[in-house]
């Protein structure tokens, strides 16, 4: 049964819309907001008054470039820095990254630590310590107001089990299956924790840093595995179990290698960095791979993968072949996803693309141009510019997004939810 | 920029939610509606009063099974038959089907005509005549009130170009590219026309006939081609260009046969009925295929395809091989879609499955059980029970759905939109 909409919720929603509009268009005016949101000027003015009272927004009359009209100066609205901040943490196979994100969209600080193969409990301790250090430093520097931290977003490789306390089902992080990440981190930080699939978090981060939209895109994250996050008209597509966008286990070759998920020939098993390195070794043998400079240890997957890009550029036929195959596999899957979900933009990111990004982009671009969907809507392909902390940034963005969408009547209390809901509420 | 929500729109939305709740739970009460929709009893009562005044809903005190409480009898609410009706038309390669659908969900009448290879203009004339006959017969029989027809929904093979007057880009209906179907039909019928991709229409039809949800599923339609329609929590996923769910052009075999879309190895090129028949002929040769009973004409594709199912059951190795290959191709694609869109149900339908449905269902079920997503959420696979007029039914359902979602203050005037909007409004 669809749910109806009672008035208090509508008020929350409109407030979130207005605050988001101010955040994404700094210097905007009440009149512009009314035009862009479709709300009446009176509604916008009432909401802005509340946001000013709560010191989330400020107005700056002098900054206005418009001439005085009817004796009333145009007030430029922007969000106040430092009043609402979120921490974001991303766990990947090799490292932990933490960021502090301001409501204005600025990344205030970044910290990083190697994981060195430690298990989830120790990794969470490391993450908690990174976050604690970032917050303390921010308060000391005056960029963060005490009590402004709304919560911590955590990005972990998917899939995630949202049916109880959010648990990792990550098949790429040994020892993480069944770990209730949010609860562990909350024990250390005493802040609300939102857990998000890393690829979805990247998509949220991309959305968070977008100019006024609406935007629809698929964000591909190549890390230890290959994941995807989907945004449709500024809303994250979550799906029924909260794991939408899981492109890593789309079958690209039924007769291909076994996948850690139990299936065969999944994209991840064929085209993730570890699979590509494995294919190379399969072609040339381990001694030749060593001679070519590959370390072939468990923690050298990404550097080894980067090295293959250089070898291919230098004319190494085996490196060229394995990368081309992986690129085409990824392109096959992306054509399918673009057709099925019908988005006009693909964003490629993650540490697995830090060197080969432009090459992969070119292949995906060429293949998508030949695909059926192209006739009805062009598909842009671009590389993410969020860098290696994209997931942490997105997880923090998710916390602020959730906070914006919640009732700000309790603005100084923490988020209501301690875990992200698997499905976005039906509006 | 996200749009805000002004009050009149909220009223419309709530009214649609209540009317839909009554439609999907005949005999429900105001109290039950308040509980299921989350609206206050007062809001529900106000809306029900308006619906009663407009004669869209009736209440029946005698039918209630509940005892009298506080002296007030419980009123059982249901929609009034005949007051809001829509026609639905589906064009496929061989035939045109038209239905008349009541707001109660009953199919009042069905009519069908062979297309015999005529072009779009002649086909539209046939469709208009079918619809006219159905409406006249309904009025004469007294099942349709004069003026109750809200519009005509049209289901055509996708993709569709929604960028102007909706145009077919169907690559499976020769001569239909660029045809503005809605405008053609409107010239004949002088009723609002909504055009819908046939696979999406089937999904709408499935949703329309569902008990109170919310439901999330992928509806696969195997006709001349292979299409898909996606419903997430009772909302149709349309995507940016209005063509979401286009599973027929997901690549299953890069080295496979050329597809009419210009790509290679698309699902449709490998596993649609025509492709399967072609593969069989490729294996055994045309003379042997003729001897086995295949007619091998342009209009015999579906009967020939049905015949292969019988041949396989009787032990024909070539028929078994080509069907198995096609089933596995479809399963590959469905695993991908279930992973990426994250739905817990797959519904299989369309004339291409009228004989082989149970076989295909078994293969898809087995493959999905082994796929990654299964650990996080089971995936049910079932055959549609809408029959061959599923698309027409869904197209008509779409018209009524649109009518429910529009302002009923103009309840006796036609729909505002003459063409379906490519993207659902942001709530």
- pLDDT band per the 50, 70, 90 thresholds, residue A65: low
Residue B86's DSSP bridge partners are: B101
Instruction: Using alpha carbons, select from A222, A252, A246, A211 the residue that is nearest to residue A383.
Output: A222
A37 contacts B263? CB cut-off 8 A: no
**How is B146-211 classified by DSSP, letter by letter?**
TT-EEEEEEEE-S-EE-SSS-EE--SSSTT-TT--HHHHHHHHH-S-EEEEEHHHHHHHHHHHTPP
Specify the pLDDT at position A409. Answer: 30
Give tens-digit pLDDT for A101-145.
998 888 999 999 987 767 888 889 999 999 999 999 999 999 998
A5 contacts B10? CB cut-off 8 A: yes
- pLDDT band per the 50, 70, 90 thresholds, residue A66: low
Residue partners of A297: CB distance under 8 A and separation at least 6 = none
Give me the residues of B, 267-296, that contact A with CB < 8 A: none
Q: Collect all residues of chain A within an 8 Å Cβ-Cβ radius of residue B244.
A: 340-342
Query: Helices A41-53 & A7-24, crossing angle to 10 degrees?
Result: 80
More reliable by pLDDT, B365 or A299? B365
Give the C-alpha separation, A112 to A133, whole Å.
11
Give the C-alpha separation, B256 to B269, whole Å.
8
B305 three-class SS: helix
| Torsion, CA B271, CA B272, CA B274, CA B278, rounded to 10 | 0
Distance from CA of B383 to the nearest CA of A (A): 21
Is A115's Cβ below 8 Å from some Cβ in B?
no
Give the one of B43, B239, B249 whose C-beta lies nearest to A341's C-beta: B239
Is A262's Cβ below 8 Å from some Cβ in B?
yes
Least confident of A180-184, B98-102, B244-248, B349-353: A180-184
Specify the pLDDT at position B13. Answer: 72
A400 three-class SS: helix
Tally Cβ neighbours within 10 Å of residue A16. 21
B18 contacts A261? CB cut-off 8 A: no
A89, containing H or E segment: strand A85-91
Residue partners of B299: CB distance under 8 A and separation at least 6 = B93, B94, B117
Q: For residue B181, what are its two tokens?
A: 């179907």
Specify the pLDDT at position B409. Answer: 30
Give tens-digit pLDDT for B387-420.
778 899 999 988 887 776 544 333 222 222 223 3
For residue A159, say if its preceding peptide bond is cis, omega within 30 degrees of 0.
Answer: yes
Specify the pLDDT at position B419. Answer: 34
What is the average per-residue pLDDT within B123-140?
Answer: 93
| Cβ atoms B344, B308 nearer than 8 A | no
What is the average per-residue pLDDT within B268-283?
Answer: 96
User: Is pLDDT at A191 greater than 90 in this prediction?
Assistant: no
Query: Helices B181-189 & B120-141, crossing angle to 10 degrees?
Result: 40
Q: Collect all residues of chain A within an 8 Å Cβ-Cβ radius of residue B37.
A: 1-4
Q: What is the mean pLDDT of chain B?
A: 83
Is B243's Cβ below 8 Å from some Cβ in A?
yes
Give the one of B233, B235, B243 whose C-beta lies nearest to A342's C-beta: B243
B161 contacts A2? CB cut-off 8 A: no
Is B32's Cβ below 8 Å from some Cβ in A?
no
Q: For residue B378, what are its two tokens?
A: 């089971």
User: Is pLDDT at A402 greater than 60 in this prediction?
Assistant: yes
What is the average per-residue pLDDT within A57-85?
Answer: 74
- pLDDT band per the 50, 70, 90 thresholds, residue B259: confident
**How is B86-148 classified by DSSP, letter by letter?**
EEEEEE-SSEEEEEEEETTS-EEEEEEEE-TT--HHHHHHHHHHHHHHHHHHHHHHTSS-TT-
What is the average per-residue pLDDT within B132-156?
Answer: 91
Distance from CA of A33 to the nearest CA of B (A): 10
B40 contacts A17? CB cut-off 8 A: no
B313 three-class SS: helix
Is B249's Cβ below 8 Å from some Cβ in A?
yes
| Cβ atoms A155, A88 nearer than 8 A | yes
| Cβ atoms B377, B251 nearer than 8 A | no
Distance from CA of B366 to the nearest CA of A (A): 12
Could you tell me how many CB contacts below 8 A there are between chain A and chain B?
Answer: 239
Give the C-alpha separation, B148 to B354, whole Å.
34
Give the C-alpha separation, B237 to B247, whole Å.
13
User: Is pLDDT at A169 greater than 90 in this prediction?
Assistant: no
**Phi, psi (5° rounding) for residue A335?**
-60, -45
Is A46's Cβ below 8 Å from some Cβ in B?
no
Residue partners of A88: CB distance under 8 A and separation at least 6 = A98, A99, A100, A101, A152, A153, A154, A155, A201, A389, A391, A392, A393, A394, A395, A396, A397, A399
Specify the pLDDT at position A373. Answer: 61
Q: Collect all residues of chain A within an 8 Å Cβ-Cβ radius of residue B7.
A: 10
B214 contacts A371? CB cut-off 8 A: no
Q: What is the mean pLDDT of chain A?
A: 83
Give the C-alpha separation, B283 to B305, whole Å.
15
Tally Cβ neighbours within 10 Å of residue A313. 14
CB-based burial label for A57 (10 Å; 0-12, 13-18, 19+)? buried
- pLDDT band per the 50, 70, 90 thresholds, residue B63: very low
A17 contacts B3? CB cut-off 8 A: yes
Specify the pLDDT at position A171. Answer: 62
Give the one of A240, A251, A262 whose C-beta lies nearest to B342's C-beta: A240
What is the average per-residue pLDDT within B19-31?
Answer: 89
- pLDDT band per the 50, 70, 90 thresholds, residue B117: low
Determine what percent of chain B is predicted with pLDDT higher than 70. 85
β B217-222/B193-197 pair status:
unpaired
A341 contacts B241? CB cut-off 8 A: no
- pLDDT band per the 50, 70, 90 thresholds, residue B65: low
More reliable by pLDDT, B170 or A343? A343
Specify the pLDDT at position B378. Answer: 80
A14 contacts B10? CB cut-off 8 A: no
What is the average per-residue pLDDT within B173-200?
Answer: 84
Give tens-digit pLDDT for B292-301.
999 999 889 9
* Unique residue bearing structure tokens 């923690």: A299
Specify the pLDDT at position B325. Answer: 96
Give the C-alpha separation, B410 to B15, whole Å.
13
More reliable by pLDDT, B262 or A306? A306
A341 contacts B216? CB cut-off 8 A: no
Specify the pLDDT at position A170. Answer: 65
Give me the residues of B, 142-181, that contact A with CB < 8 A: 159, 161, 169, 171
User: Is pLDDT at B9 greater than 70 in this prediction?
Assistant: no
Specify the pLDDT at position B168. Answer: 67
Give the one of A3, A233, A372 whose C-beta lies nearest to B261's C-beta: A372
Task: For B212, name the nearest residue in chain A, comparing CA atoms only.
Answer: A1
A6 contacts B40? CB cut-off 8 A: yes
**Domains and their CATH numbers in chain A:** 7-79 (1.10.10.10), 85-198+391-410 (3.30.420.40), 210-385 (3.30.420.40)
Is B230's Cβ below 8 Å from some Cβ in A?
yes
* pTM of structure: 0.83
B246 contacts A232? CB cut-off 8 A: no
B2 contacts A17? CB cut-off 8 A: yes
- pLDDT band per the 50, 70, 90 thresholds, residue B197: confident
What is the average per-residue pLDDT within B218-238?
Answer: 90
User: Is pLDDT at A2 greater than 60 in this prediction?
Assistant: no
**How is A281-328 classified by DSSP, letter by letter?**
HHHH-HHHHHHTT---SGGGHHHHHHHHHHHHHTT-HHHHHHHHHHHH
Specify the pLDDT at position B187. Answer: 86
Is B43's Cβ below 8 Å from some Cβ in A?
yes
Specify the pLDDT at position A1. Answer: 46
More reliable by pLDDT, B162 or A18? A18
User: Is pLDDT at A68 greater than 60 in this prediction?
Assistant: no
Tally Cβ neighbours within 10 Å of residue B142. 8
Using alpha carbons, list the distances in angstroms from residue B128 to A148, A416, B390.
Answer: 64, 55, 19
A337 contacts B2? CB cut-off 8 A: no
B342, containing H or E segment: none
Q: Collect all residues of chain A within an 8 Å Cβ-Cβ radius of residue B372.
A: 159, 171, 246, 249, 259, 261-263, 266
CB-based burial label for B112 (10 Å; 0-12, 13-18, 19+)? middle
> Cα B23 from chain centroid?
18
A152, containing H or E segment: strand A149-156
Specify the pLDDT at position B318. Answer: 97
B266 contacts A241? CB cut-off 8 A: no
* Unique residue bearing structure tokens 């981060």: A205
Least confident of A157-171, B89-103, B108-122, B275-289: A157-171
**Phi, psi (5° rounding) for residue A149?**
-75, 115
Distance from CA of B105 to the nearest CA of A (A): 16
User: Is pLDDT at B356 greater than 60 in this prediction?
Assistant: yes
What is the average per-residue pLDDT within B1-24?
Answer: 67
Specify the pLDDT at position A420. Answer: 30
More reliable by pLDDT, A16 or B71? A16
Task: For A37, name the nearest residue in chain B, comparing CA atoms only.
Answer: B3
| Cβ atoms A363, A331 nearer than 8 A | yes
A261 contacts B372? CB cut-off 8 A: yes
Give tens-digit pLDDT for A347-400.
999 989 989 999 999 999 999 888 766 666 789 999 998 777 889 999 998 888
Using alpha carbons, list the distances in angstroms from residue A317 to A45, A308, A310.
Answer: 64, 10, 12
Give the C-alpha separation, A355 to A366, whole Å.
19
């Amino acid at each position: 049964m669809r749910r109806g909409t009672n008035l208090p919720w509508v008020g929350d929603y409109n407030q979130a819309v207005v605050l988001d509009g101010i955040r994404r268009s700094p210097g905007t005016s009440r009149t512009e907001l009314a035009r862009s949101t479709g709300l009446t000027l009176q509604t916008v003015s009432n909401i802005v008054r509340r946001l000013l009272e709560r010191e989330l927004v400020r107005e700056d009359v002098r900054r206005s470039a418009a001439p005085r009209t009817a004796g009333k100066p145009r007030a430029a609205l922007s969000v106040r820095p430092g009043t609402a901040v979120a921490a974001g943490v991303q766990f990947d196979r090799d490292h932990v990254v933490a960021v502090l994100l301001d409501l204005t969209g600025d990344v205030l600080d970044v910290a990083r630590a190697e994981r060195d193969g430690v298990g989830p409990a120790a990794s969470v301790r490391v993450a908690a310590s990174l976050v604690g250090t970032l917050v303390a430093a921010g308060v000391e520097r005056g960029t963060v107001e005490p009590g402004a931290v709304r919560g911590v977003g955590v990005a972990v490789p998917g899939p995630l089990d949202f049916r109880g306390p959010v648990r990792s089902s990550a098949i790429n992080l040994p020892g993480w299956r069944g770990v209730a990440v949010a609860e562990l981190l909350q024990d250390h930080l005493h802040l609300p924790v939102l857990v998000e699939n890393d690829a979805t978090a990247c998509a949220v981060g991309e959305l968070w840093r977008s100019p006024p939209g609406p935007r629809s895109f698929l964000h591909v994250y190549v890390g230890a595995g290959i994941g995807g996050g989907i945004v449709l008209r500024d809303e994250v597509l979550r799906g029924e179990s909260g794991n939408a966008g899981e492109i890593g286990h789309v079958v690209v070759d039924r007769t291909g290698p076994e996948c850690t998920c139990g299936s065969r020939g999944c994209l991840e098993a064929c085209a993730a960095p570890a699979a590509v390195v494995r294919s190379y070794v399969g072609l040339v043998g381990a001694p030749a791979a060593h001679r070519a400079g590959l370390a072939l240890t468990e923690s050298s997957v990404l550097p080894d993968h980067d090295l293959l890009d250089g070898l291919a550029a230098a004319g190494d036929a085996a490196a060229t072949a394995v990368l081309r195959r992986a690129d085409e596999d990824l392109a096959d899957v992306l054509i399918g996803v673009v057709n099925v979900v019908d988005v006009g933009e693909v964003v490629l990111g993650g540490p697995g693309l830090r060197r080969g990004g432009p090459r992969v982009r070119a292949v995906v671009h060429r293949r998508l141009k030949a695909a059926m969907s192209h006739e009805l809507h062009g598909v842009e392909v671009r590389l993410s510019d969020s860098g290696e902390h994209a997931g942490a940034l997105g997880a923090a963005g998710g916390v602020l997004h959730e906070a914006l969408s919640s009732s700000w009547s309790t603005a100084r209390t923490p988020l209501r939810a301690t875990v992200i809901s698997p499905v976005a509420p039906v509006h």
